[in-house]
Amino acid sequence: MNKTTAAITAVHGVVPEKKLTNADLEKMVDTNDEWIKSRTGISERRIVSGGEVFSDFGAEIVKNICEKRGIDPLEIDMIIVGTITGDYKFPSTSNVICDKSGAKNAWGYDVSAACSGFLFSLTTGQQFIETGFAKKVIVIGGDIMSSIINYKDRATCIIFGDGFGGVLLEPNTDGFGIQDAIMKVDGAGREFLIQKVGGSANILNEDNVNSDDRYVYQEGKTVFKHAVKNMAGVSADIMERNNLTGDDVDWLVPHQANLRIIDATAKRMELSKEKVMINIEKYGNTTSGTIPLCLWEWEDKLKKGDNVILSAFGGGFTWGAIYIKWGY
Ligand code: UT7
């Protein structure tokens, strides 16, 4: 019998209505449209408003995926959510999404891996499918970065936005789906991209409740250097391990942190620009949301059998790449 692989069989994405443009940010911090566009590639991002919460977007993703695939939410075995900005510290956002979407037979949990959250979650879901433990796993990646961003800090507020996406994983015995994955962490990088206050190492209290340490801190230049080296490196490694050249790869789906990091990765992979999914201009860096949002926007262009490389780098440090033979 052929090996069972985990194939993506449906995708969906969703972003909040409200836009935060570069012109809006010019009024909030000392920055300008030209600098943001040339240094990052971003023109605008979406942010939540009016009490919008992650689990509502997540439930919408689950319902849409089930509709597209013609299945009932009761058939879903697991929901895995990659995020650092879930509804609560606990219970997990997966629990809440299972409830709100009617996936009453599913279990699941959240995965914390910052910008690599979707990739770490996807390869986690892959294991449950390949072993036969689960037949239908929904993997969601998303973040409400606006909930942890300091809109007085121009080093971070210009980059991040809110957005969500998800995929359905099902078993495949015809060779489609996830072929290979490389996942990496380096905890020594934690000091360069971190939310210092709010965890048990530094609990929120009356002394720090108004300090900037409750927001995302990023040493941009250092993170940038590591991102270029590792995202490009892991993408080249997964190609080499699977004997793929730039000509063999149909699509790169890169984490959307900075257009210059994406360009460096594509160059290292010897890919032409048309093969690279880029929507950073519209959404900015939605952390765990970037990769599934790209898959959703490019779904119509993806063809069965396409060689697709997903690649990310983020806080932790965390990074990785997944090679998929597209299944539909
Ligand atoms: O997704 C998770 C991982 N995160 C990333 O991958 C992000 C990686 N880092 C980056 O994308 C970039 O480092 C940033 C976009 C955050 C910053 O770009 P940069 O080219 O590294 O800028 P920089 O921090 O080196 O600053 C260059 C100059 C400085 O001015 P001087 O000292 O040269 O006069 C900054 O003060 O640009 C200035 N600057 C700004 N100017 C206008 C920094 N931020 C801004 C700003 N608007 N928002």
**224 pocket-lining for ligand 1 (C-beta < 6 Å):** yes
Q: How far is the CA of 176 from the centre of ligand 1 (A)?
A: 40
Q: The domain spanning residue 228 has which CATH number?
A: 3.40.47.10
Q: Residue 172 pLDDT more than 80?
A: yes
Q: What amino acid positions are annotated as catalytic residues?
A: 115, 255, 285
Residue located via tokens 């689990």: 55
Q: Give the structural domain span for 242.
A: 179-325
For the whole model, what pTM was predicted?
0.97
Q: Give the position, in ligand 1's atom list, of the atom nearest the Cα of 158.
A: 48
**Stretch 5-23: mean pLDDT, rounded?**
98
Same structural domain, 113 and 191: no
End residue of a domain, out of 126, 154, 175: 175
Same structural domain, 193 and 113: no
Three-class DSSP category at 71: coil
Number of structural domains found in the chain: 2
Same structural domain, 144 and 168: yes
Same structural domain, 160 and 266: no
End residue of a domain, out of 175, 195, 217: 175
| Cβ-contact 53, 86 below 8 angstroms | no
Q: Can you tell me the distance from the alpha carbon of 50 to that of 310, in angstroms, rounded to the nearest whole number?
A: 33
Same structural domain, 51 and 91: yes
**Stretch 231-239: mean pLDDT, rounded?**
98
Nearest protein CA to atom 21 of ligand 1, as residue: 221
End residue of a domain, out of 122, 157, 175: 175
CA distances from 102 to 2, 44, 63, 270 (A): 33, 34, 8, 44
- The letter for the amino acid at 144 is I
* Mutational test site, ligand 1, from 25, 30, 37, 39, max ligand atoms within 8 Å of CB: 39
Same structural domain, 185 and 168: no
- Return the exposure string of 77-105: e unless at least 16 CB atoms fall within 10 Å of the residue's CB, then b: bbbbbbbbbbbeeeebbbbbbbebbbbee
Structure confidence at residue 290 as a pLDDT band (50, 70, 90): very high
Q: Can you tell me the distance from the alpha carbon of 235 to that of 237, in angstroms, rounded to the nearest whole number?
A: 5
**152 pocket-lining for ligand 1 (C-beta < 6 Å):** no
- The letter for the amino acid at 111 is V
Same structural domain, 183 and 254: yes
**71 pocket-lining for ligand 1 (C-beta < 6 Å):** no
Structure confidence at residue 71 as a pLDDT band (50, 70, 90): very high
Whole-number pLDDT of residue 255: 98
Same structural domain, 233 and 142: no
Same structural domain, 95 and 74: yes
- State the chain's mean pLDDT as an integer: 97
| Cβ-contact 323, 308 below 8 angstroms | yes
Three-class DSSP category at 8: strand
Structure confidence at residue 2 as a pLDDT band (50, 70, 90): confident
Q: How far is the CA of 297 from the centre of ligand 1 (A)?
A: 28
Q: Residue 1 pLDDT more than 80?
A: no
Q: How far is the CA of 32 from the centre of ligand 1 (A)?
A: 12
**154 pocket-lining for ligand 1 (C-beta < 6 Å):** yes
Whole-number pLDDT of residue 293: 98
Q: Can you tell me the distance from the alpha carbon of 78 to that of 88, in angstroms, rounded to the nearest whole number?
A: 19
φ, ψ for residue 265, nearest 5 deg: -65, -45
Same structural domain, 195 and 259: yes
Q: Residue 6 pLDDT more than 80?
A: yes
Q: What is the maximal distance between C-alpha atoms in the chain?
A: 62
**260 pocket-lining for ligand 1 (C-beta < 6 Å):** no
Same structural domain, 190 and 152: no
Task: Tell me which residue of 94, 255, 179, 76 sits closest to 264, measured CA to CA.
Answer: 255
Whole-number pLDDT of residue 245: 97
Same structural domain, 123 and 238: no
Query: What is the per-residue pLDDT across 99-145, written as a single tens digit (0 to 9) for each?
Result: 999 999 999 999 999 999 999 999 999 999 999 999 999 999 999 99
